């Protein structure tokens, strides 16, 4: 069932409220029944403005830091990094809540019954309904966030004509200066703080019948049949005049009927949502339960594949709702953040979280939802060239482990386990070639190629020779600590395994892209190849595990949430069961050790573990960890719980469900590689693989019974199911039915 259903109000608990969004404009709908509350977000509402935070003393201390690291004086190196490499000032700014709208029925609805609230994922519409016990009048609210009209649209109706009374106010806890109204429209506006951006948020009532007035901070309508409420917002990030933009946007939407707004919205949204569908067979009597009842119930002994189908739909819904068209990319909370100072600033953390947000894009047939990320990377490019030059005296582009609205690339703060890490931009760069593999969009590759090349250029200048290998220094393995044989604890080091894995991938992608685009910069390409040839390989340590650092150190926290050294297993395909079985064995030891140490305790960490097991073709461990994600790290509204709410776990888990059914690599695509016992029968329509091939699969009693492939542009693929491989070629627009 493509719906989240509840019969109790959220009672002011954000973790029970339900999200809607059009990429830019979002709301959490509390579903309070006798009143209503929307908490609003607009993606460019951030505190402060653009800054140059590059530490001016970095370059003059770089050699000394490197010497200290290479001679094992780690505490001294870490102390010096705190002074010389930390961003000045420390910390990028926070994404903020836009504000809140509170609705009430002007005293009606004291005693009520039959309350329901539903988020229909197939139409992206939230509906709540409640009946007044005395009058038996039913009040209904239908709400959605329209992309075409950039408005949140809420339609309030009552079953008794002329009985609808509605009052609403727009509020913001800080950083706003004025509230103004006309007869039908209320505005709040001001500066978002730190001398940064101006914003405006507006709400208009379009009633059918009744009397409407603006009074103080409220819009009030009495005796209406229905009211359409329109809400929009703007900042000067996109608009020269936010107030004028808001007014014009409201005028444009108010000129349409509600039915037309709704129809346009459904059509636009479904152009994304209808591309894919997972249908695991399940016990349909469970559909009588509410979503929270199903979440509380699901475990090994109470399977509920129906909930997994819904969770998959929800993940796709969340990506479409937080990242589409000209929106910003999805941040740590997608677009849904209730705070003025959000957890980790609700920024873009690029040592896994932002990248994880986009893991489902390719496989779930939503590659275009990743375009906002690439636009943001271009926003980072000039900043990252500045950071490379000022901090490290290098050419090319670098970004550390966080970025913000303005594409900041300097180190975030003084937190040693995370901040002195030069690989954030490089990891993002690997998304470019992967997006190209899924879409075969050559214009996209041309547009992003300079980014890829600048990224490679940075490492050609930055890497240093240690024992014949080229390695990063300083660096950290996000965000872990090691113990040296003499008991010294450290984070900073050189040539962490994850860095090497990312760099192998980056140089390989660059090489392939340079060939596709016929780059005739022969000298650069030759030097890049020479550099790639000197990158260290993945090593196996004394416990039989994948080594996290160049030395086989003990880990201070064996259950650490980051499993960075398995980057080569997932997201990359450097470790695969068929081609590198020993490394797979070692990866499996690493995972066991992490889990035995309490790993997977954050939502995103658990989601990564599911992906890692899927890539090991270990179906049962992937499934068990998915169940643990539900029981330990999923809120009642099915959002991921770090804790607190962080959206990466939703996206990571949805990608993992896809990976259990289909794994696409440059050399082959593998069908049903990690199908657990509990998913014996089912089908999936519209999963995507490399080459832009779309797959429809059906299976019964664990046997693949139908395989259908479609390609828009034409493609070749080696298809593997169990031990059988088939080489196939599809011409543009062709559908092939394959049997195994
Ligand atoms: C990384 C993680 C944390 C959290 C933060 C936003 O630093 O280690 O768990 O997800 O990002």
Contacts of 58 (CB under 8 A, 6+ apart): 84, 85, 390, 391, 392
Q: How far is the CA of 350 from the centre of ligand 1 (A)?
A: 9
pLDDT of the residue at 142 = 98
427 CA distance to ligand 1 middle (Å): 16
Convert the pLDDT of each residue in 438-452 to its tens digit: 999 999 999 999 999
CB of 330 sitting under 6 A from ligand 1: no
Do residues 472 and 457 touch, judged by C-beta distance below 8 A? Answer: no
**Residue ranges of E strands in 108-262:** 112-120, 125-132, 138-146, 151-158, 164-171, 178-181, 185-191, 198-208, 211-215, 218-224, 226-235
419 lines ligand 1 (CB under 6 A): no
For ligand 1, whether the C-beta of 561 sits within 6 Å is yes
The answer to whether the CB of 418 is under 6 A from ligand 1 is: yes
Angle of helix 603-615 versus helix 648-661 axis, rounded to 10: 10
Q: Say how far apart CA 663 and CA 656 lie, in whole Å.
A: 10
What is 235-264 written as a DSSP string? ETTT-S-HHHHHHHHHHHHHTS-HHHHHHH
Ligand 1 atom, smallest distance to 344 CA: 6
Residue 740's pLDDT is 92
The residue whose CA has the least distance to atom 10 of ligand 1 is: 353
The pLDDT value recorded for residue 269 is: 98
- Report how far residue 727's alpha carbon sits from residue 691's, in angstroms, rounded to the nearest whole number: 14
Q: How many CB atoms lie within 10 A of CB 185?
A: 20
pLDDT band at 174 (very low <50, low <70, confident <90, very high): confident
**Ligand 1 pocket test, candidate residues 561, 598, 601, most atoms within 8 A of CB:** 561
Q: Which two tokens stand for residue 83?
A: 């002074």
What is the CA(349)–ligand 1 centre distance, in A? 7
Alpha-carbon span 535 to 503, nearest angstrom = 8
Residue 715's nearest CA partner among 683, 693, 687, 688 is 693
The token pair at 641 is 């719980």
Residue where the block lists tokens 């259908």:
708
Q: Residue 432 and residue 350: Cα distance in Å, rounded? A: 15
Average pLDDT value for residue range 638-644: 98
CA 112 to chain centre: 38
Q: Give the nearest ligand 1 atom to 401 CA.
A: 7
Are 223 and 164 within 8 A, CB to CB? yes
CB contact at 8 A, 453 and 527 = no
Name the percent of the chain lying above pLDDT 70: 100
In angstroms, what is the span from residue 323 Cα to ligand 1's centroid? 20
Nearest CA to ligand 1 atom 11: 349
Q: Strand pairing of 164-171 and 178-181?
A: unpaired
Structure tokens at 336: 């849904």
User: How do strand 669-671 and strand 715-721 relate by DSSP bridges?
Assistant: parallel
Q: What angle do CA 115, 117, 122 make, to 5 degrees?
A: 150
Closest atom of ligand 1 relative to the 648 alpha carbon: 10
CA atoms within 13 A on the CB side of 93: 23
**Cα of 674 from ligand 1 centre, angstroms:** 28
What are the CA-CA distances from residue 345 to residues 45, 96, 271, 624 (Å)?
12, 8, 32, 32
| pLDDT, position 109 | 85
Strands (E), 412-479: 464-466, 469-471
Q: Is the dihedral of CA 285, 143, 94, 473 positive or negative?
A: positive
With H, G, I as helix, E, B as strand and everything else as coil, classify residue 380: helix
353: Cβ below 6 Å to ligand 1?
yes
Distance 417 CA to ligand 1 centre (A): 11
Q: Which residue has the tokens 């994404």?
A: 95
Query: Whose Cα sits closest to atom 8 in ligand 1?
Result: 479
Quick one: pLDDT band at residue 180, thresholds 50, 70, 90?
Answer: confident
* Res 178: pLDDT: 81
- Other beta carbons within 10 Å of 530: 11
Give tens-digit pLDDT for 550-559. Answer: 999 999 999 9
What residues have CB less than 8 Å from 626, skipping those under 6 apart? 308, 610, 653, 656, 657
pLDDT digits over 289-322, tens only? Answer: 999 999 999 999 999 999 999 999 999 999 999 9
Query: Is the CB of 354 within 6 Å of ligand 1?
Result: no
Looking at the predicted structure, is the pLDDT value of residue 362 above 90? yes
Q: Please, what sign has the CA dihedral across residues 161, 167, 172, 173? A: negative
Spatial separation of the C-alpha atoms in residues 94 and 196, rounded to whole Å: 12
193: left (phi over 0), alpha (psi -120 to 50) or beta: left
Query: What are the structure tokens assigned to 36, written together?
Result: 């209503």
Looking at the predicted structure, is the pLDDT value of residue 549 above 90?
yes
Residue 152 Cβ inside 6 Å of ligand 1? The answer reads: no
Structure-token match 């979440």, residue found? 295
Q: pLDDT by residue (tens digit) across 203-243?
A: 999 999 999 999 999 999 999 999 999 999 999 999 999 99
Q: Name the nearest CA neighbour of 703 among 684, 685, 721.
A: 721
Local confidence band at 715 (pLDDT 50, 70, 90 cut-offs)? very high
Distance, CA of 43 to CA of 230 (rounded, Å)? 18
In this prediction, residues 136-148 reach a mean pLDDT of: 97
Q: Is 479 in the pocket of ligand 1 (CB under 6 A)?
A: yes
Atom of ligand 1 nearest to the CA of 604: 10
What backbone torsions phi and psi does residue 58 show, to the nearest 5 degrees? -65, -55
Q: Is 187 helix (H, G, I), strand (E, B) or coil?
A: strand
The residue among 203, 231, 198 whose CA lies nearest residue 45 is 198
DSSP assignment of 325-356, as one string?
TTSPPPBTTBT----SS-GGGG-EETTTHHHH
- What's residue 622's pLDDT? 98
CA dist., res. 315 & res. 659, Å (int)? 14
Per-residue pLDDT tens digits for 187-199: 999 999 998 999 9
pLDDT at 107 over 90: no
Average pLDDT of the chain, as a whole number: 97
- 257: confidence class by pLDDT, cuts 50, 70, 90: very high
Ligand 1 site, residue 688, Cβ cutoff 6 A: no
pLDDT (0 to 100) of residue 1: 85
Within 10 angstroms of residue 268's Cβ, the number of other Cβ atoms is 18
Out of 349, 491, 605, give the residue to mutate to test ligand 1, the one with the largest number of ligand atoms within 8 Å of its CB: 349
Task: Name the helix (H) or strand (E) containing 711.
Answer: strand 703-711
For residue 115, the model assigns a pLDDT of 95
272 in contact with ligand 1, CB cutoff 6 A: no
Q: How far does CA 539 lie from the centroid of its chain?
A: 31
d(CA 539, CA 280): 39
Q: Which two tokens stand for residue 648?
A: 């990466």
- Whether pLDDT at 21 is above 90: yes
Stretch 558-587: mean pLDDT? 97
Determine whether the shortest distance from the Cβ of 333 to ligand 1 is under 6 A.
no
Q: What is the pLDDT of residue 520?
A: 97
| pLDDT for residue 670 is more than 90 | yes
Q: What is the CA radius of gyration of the chain?
A: 26
How far apart CA 737 and CA 708 sit, in angstroms, is: 5
Cβ(163) – ligand 1 distance below 6 Å: no
Please choose, from the candidates 168, 257, 170, 246, the residue with its C-alpha nearest in 3D space to the C-alpha of residue 212: 168
- Is the pTM for the entire model greater than 0.95? yes
Residue given tokens 């600048």 in the structure block: 454
Question: What's the CA gap between 615 and 591, in Å, rounded?
Answer: 12
The pLDDT-based confidence of 108 (bands split at 50, 70, 90) is confident
Ligand 1 centroid – CA 237 distance (Å): 27
Residues 61-65 have a mean pLDDT of 98
Predicted pLDDT at 436: 98
What average pLDDT does range 505-512 have in this prediction?
98
Q: Rounded to the nearest whole angstrom, what is the distance from the C-alpha of residue 581 to the centroid of ligand 1? A: 31
Evaluate: CB of 602 within 6 angstroms of ligand 1.
yes
The confidence band for 266, taking pLDDT boundaries of 50, 70 and 90, is very high
Q: What is the pLDDT of residue 176?
A: 82
For residue 565 and ligand 1, the question of a CB distance below 6 A is answered with no
Tokens (6 digits) for 254: 């108010």
């Amino acid at each position: 069932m493509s719906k989240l259903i509840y019969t109790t109000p959220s009672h002011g608990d954000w973790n029970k409220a339900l999200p809607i969004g059009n990429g830019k404009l979002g709301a959490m709908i509390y579903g309070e029944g006798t009143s209503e509350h929307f908490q609003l977000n607009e993606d460019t509402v951030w505190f402060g403005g653009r800054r140059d935070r590059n530490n001016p003393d970095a370059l003059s201390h770089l050699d000394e830091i490197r010497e200290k690291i290479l001679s094992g004086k780690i505490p001294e190196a870490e102390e010096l990094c705190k002074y010389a490499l930390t961003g000045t000032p420390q910390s990028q700014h926070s994404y903020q809540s836009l504000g809140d709208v509170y609705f009430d029925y002007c005293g009606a609805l004291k005693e009520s019954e039959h309350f329901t609230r539903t988020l229909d994922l197939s139409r992206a519409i939230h509906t709540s309904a409640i009946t007044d016990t005395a009058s038996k009048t039913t009040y209904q609210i239908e709400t959605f966030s329209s992309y075409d009209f950039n408005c949140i649209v809420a339609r309030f109706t009552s079953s008794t004509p002329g009985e609808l009374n509605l009052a609403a106010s727009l509020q913001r806890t800080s950083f706003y200066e004025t509230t103004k109204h006309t007869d039908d429209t209320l505005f709040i506006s001001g500066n978002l703080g730190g001398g940064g951006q101006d914003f405006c948020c507006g709400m208009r009532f379009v009633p059918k019948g009744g009397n409407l007035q603006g009074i103080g901070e409220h819009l009030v309508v009495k005796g209406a049949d229905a009211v359409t409420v329109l809400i929009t917002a703007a900042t000067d990030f996109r608009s020269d005049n936010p107030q004028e933009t808001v007014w014009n946007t409201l005028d444009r939407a108010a000129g349409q009927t509600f039915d037309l707004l709704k129809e346009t919205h459904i059509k636009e949204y479904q152009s994304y949502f209808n591309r894919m569908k997972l249908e695991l067979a399940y016990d349909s009597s469970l559909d009588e339960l509410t979503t929270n009842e199903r979440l509380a119930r699901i475990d090994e002994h109470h399977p509920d594949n129906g909930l997994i189908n819904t969770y998959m739909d929800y993940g796709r819904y969340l990506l479409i709702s937080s990242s589409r068209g000209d929106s910003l990319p999805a941040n740590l909370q997608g677009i849904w953040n209730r705070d003025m100072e959000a957890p980790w600033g609700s920024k873009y953390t690029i040592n896994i979280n932002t990248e994880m947000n986009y893991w489902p894009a390719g496989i779930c047939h939503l590659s275009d939802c990743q375009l906002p990320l690439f636009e943001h990377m271009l926003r980072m490019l000039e900043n990252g060239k500045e950071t490379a030059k000022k901090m490290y005296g290098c050419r090319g582009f670098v970004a550390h482990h966080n970025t913000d609205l303005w594409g900041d690339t300097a180190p975030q703060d003084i937190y040693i386990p995370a901040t002195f890490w030069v690989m954030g931009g490089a990891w993002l760069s690997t998304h470019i070639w992967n997006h190209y593999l899924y879409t075969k969009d050559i214009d996209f590759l041309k547009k992003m190629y300079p980014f890829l090349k600048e990224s490679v250029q940075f490492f050609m200048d930055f890497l240093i020779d240690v024992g014949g290998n080229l390695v990063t220094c300083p660096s950290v393995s996000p965000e872990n600590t090691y113990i040296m044989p003499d008991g010294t604890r450290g984070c900073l080091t050189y040539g962490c395994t994850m860095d090497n894995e990312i760099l192998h991938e980056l140089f390989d992608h660059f090489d392939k892209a340079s060939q596709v685009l016929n780059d005739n910069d022969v000298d650069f390409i030759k030097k890049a190849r020479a550099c790639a040839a000197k990158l260290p390989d993945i090593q196996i340590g004394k416990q039989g595990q994948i080594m996290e650092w160049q030395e086989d150190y003990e880990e201070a926290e064996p259950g650490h949430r980051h499993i960075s050294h398995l980057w080569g297993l997932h997201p990359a395909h450097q470790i695969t069961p068929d081609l590198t079985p020993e490394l797979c064995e070692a990866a499996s030891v690493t995972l066991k050790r992490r889990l035995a140490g309490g790993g997977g305790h954050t939502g995103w960490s658990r989601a990564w573990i599911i992906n890692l097991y899927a890539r090991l073709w270990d179906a049962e461990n992937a499934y068990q960890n998915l169940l643990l994600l539900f029981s330990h790290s999923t809120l009642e509204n099915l959002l991921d719980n770090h804790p607190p709410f962080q959206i990466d776990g939703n996206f990571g888990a949805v990608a993992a469900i896809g990976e259990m059914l289909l794994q696409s690599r440059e050399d082959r695509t593998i069908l049903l590689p990690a199908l657990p016992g509990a998913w014996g029968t089912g089908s999936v329509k519209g999963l995507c693989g490399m080459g832009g091939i779309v797959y429809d699969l059906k299976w019964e009693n664990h046997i693949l019974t139908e395989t259908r492939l479609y390609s828009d542009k034409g493609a070749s693929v080696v298809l593997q199911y169990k031990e059988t491989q088939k080489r196939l070629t599809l011409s543009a627009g062709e559908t092939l039915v394959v049997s195994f």
